[in-house]
Amino acid sequence: MEGETIAECEATLEERMEDRWRRRKAGQYQAPPVRRVEMPKGNGKTRPLGMPTGEDRRLQRAVARILRAMYEQDFLAGSCGDRTGRNPHRALKARRDHLGTGKGRHVYDTDMQGDFTNLHQQWLRKMMALRIADPVITG
């Protein structure tokens, strides 16, 4: 809960997580509002950052672990975005190494601005429902 110490949260964490999952399965769970903070990016620009409660972050991580286990097999070996042991820096290094060997002839520039902000949620849920039968996860 908001304003709780870590020790207070951990004392009843197991029971609260079970209750939250039960309510989510019954369609009675409503995630608490996400606190929004504007993070400076430079040049007077900011980026919105959502800060869910600690309990909600734990629930999100549990679902993320399930999804990673289900979808990891579908990713290409060179795909580095938000995967265990991989990150954008690894992808950039692989690209530099490839270009350094003289094998690359083209350089592509992409901009991920607003990528997750503009993600079509309904479409994503429909795609996930093709493989995940649990409406608790697909919403």
What is the tens place of the pLDDT at every residue in 19-51?
Answer: 887 887 787 878 888 889 998 888 888 888 888
Higher pLDDT, 15 or 82: 15
Given pLDDT bands bounded at 50, 70 and 90, which one contains residue 14?
A: confident
Those residues with Cβ within 8 angstroms of residue 95's Cβ, 6 or more apart along the chain or in another chain? 104
H/E stretch holding 39 reads strand 35-42
Q: Please give the structure tokens belonging to residue 32.
A: 């608490």
